[in-house]
Amino acid sequence: MRCGGRTTGFEPWIVYTWRVVQKCVREFSGLRTDRFRTTKGIIMPKLKTHSGAAKRFTKTGTGKFKRGHSKMRHILTSKNNKTKSRLGKSGLVSDADHYNVSRMLPYA
């Protein structure tokens, strides 16, 4: 049984030692906190900001996320002025997508 390899599941012909099982449980459950242990206790690891989302969304003062509209890059001669004016303004992220955007921008 290898923890990081493709072999998974219980293999009855291998005699498992407690140390190997404990190591695998630690690796798979994400309880490797020894790297983040300090004299003040356990600190949480830093979260990475999604760079693509950081370029597309900004947070407003009320906690909502602003976004731009699509369909404003090319083929603009076939669109009327009212549509181009409406698409040029910013919009808000819908409530259904708010959780996902806030996960991608943890420090926004």
How high is the pLDDT of residue 104?
A: 97
Nearest-5° Cα angle at 58, 83 to 95: 75
Report pLDDT for 53.
98
Any residues with CB less than 8 A from the CB of 42 and at least 6 apart, and which? 33, 36
Please list the pLDDT of the chain residue by residue as tens digits (108 residues). 555 555 556 555 555 555 555 555 555 555 555 666 667 777 788 899 999 999 999 999 999 999 999 999 999 999 999 999 999 999 999 999 999 999 999 999
Measured between alpha carbons, how far apart are the two ends of the chain, in Å?
Answer: 43
Domains with residue ranges and CATH for the chain: 1-45 (no CATH), 51-104 (4.10.410.60)
